[in-house]
Amino acid sequence: MRLKVCGMTRLDQVHALDKMGVQFAGFIFYHKSPRFVMKHMNGEQLKKAKLNINKVGVFVNSSYDEIMNHVHNFGLYMVQLHGDETPRFCERISDQVPTIKVFRIKEGDNIEWKIREYREVCDLFLFDTDWANYGGSGKKFDWKLLDQADIDKPFLLSGGIGLEDIDNLKEFASGKNGKNLFAVDVNSRFEISPGLKDLDKVKLLVDGLGANG
């Protein structure tokens, strides 16, 4: 099972994730986030770092030019769109770089209706808890809501995931939509403070999920 650790702010910790075999590191380019990466490192530092880990830029309603400039300057492999981006905008981005579109889900949502116009215009989906603000909430996501839908596209699972969820994640992976589970996305539950990861806890998750390669 692949793992994405989001909200990275320290290059030494990115290197540590790389050594653990974590596949994806997320960097937040939303200036209202306490994990806004540009307060902590510049593009040249990250672009020149010798890393195998895939660098994912997280954006909220950014312009096309802003996104593509950061893709170039930071050497990003993938883009995650966490705002109100239209299908047409997602397609424009995904023509240039692999793209994840985030959907915030609450009970009663028609998931297939929400995702229908995005199926052909982005590469991956990410499902998270619905809440009032942009970005991750750290709140538990009820994965059973996904059982109501025929997703039929690779997706990441997010929403307050912690070490106590390892067995449930494995169970989900063997269920209806498990074949399309591309990766698990974690952030705040593996932090000492915003942007500073508890690498010991991350290693426990890597080992528990078998997410090191």
pLDDT tens digit sequence for 94-124: 999 999 999 998 888 999 999 999 999 999 9
pLDDT confidence tier of residue 129, bands split at 50, 70 and 90: confident
Is the four-CA dihedral 69, 70, 76, 78 of positive or negative sign? Answer: negative
pLDDT at 140: 77
pTM of the model: 0.94
Position 145 confidence tier, pLDDT thresholds 50, 70, 90: confident
| Token pair of 136 as six digits | 């991750």
Each residue's pLDDT tens digit, 165-195:
999 999 999 988 999 999 999 999 999 999 9
Lowest-pLDDT range of 61-75, 77-91, 164-178, 192-206: 164-178
For the chain, the first-to-last Cα distance in angstroms comes to 9
pLDDT at 133: 54
pLDDT at 134: 52
Q: Is the pLDDT of residue 37 over 60?
A: yes
CA dihedral 8, 13, 19, 25 (to 10 degrees): 0
**All residues at 6 or more sequence positions from 74 whose CB lies less than 8 Å from its CB, including other chains:** 27, 37, 43, 46, 47, 55, 57
Handedness of CA 120, 91, 95, 49 (dihedral sign): negative
| Half-sphere exposure for 189 (CA within 13 Å, toward CB) | 19
- 55: phi then psi, degrees, rounded to nearest 5: -95, 125
pLDDT at residue 18, rounded to an integer: 98
User: Bridge partners of 57?
Assistant: 27, 79
**How does residue 144 score in pLDDT terms, banded at 50, 70 and 90?**
confident
Q: Is the pLDDT score of 56 beyond 70?
A: yes
Residue 39 binned pLDDT confidence (cut-offs 50, 70, 90): very high
Given the candidates 1.10.3720.10, 3.20.20.70, 1.10.260.40, 3.40.50.10490, the CATH classification of the domain at 2-209 is: 3.20.20.70
pLDDT at 132 (0 to 100):
47
More confident residue, 58 or 210: 58
User: Which tokens go with 159?
Assistant: 């929403």
CA distance 57 to 144: 28
Domain chopping of the chain, boundaries: 2-209
Joined together, the tokens standing for residue 150 give: 């025929």
CA-nearest of 9, 2, 171, 150 to 74 is 9
Mean pLDDT of the chain: 93
Please report, for residues 10, 19, 33, 201, the alpha-carbon distance to residue 102 in angstroms, rounded to integers and kept in the order given. Answer: 24, 28, 16, 25
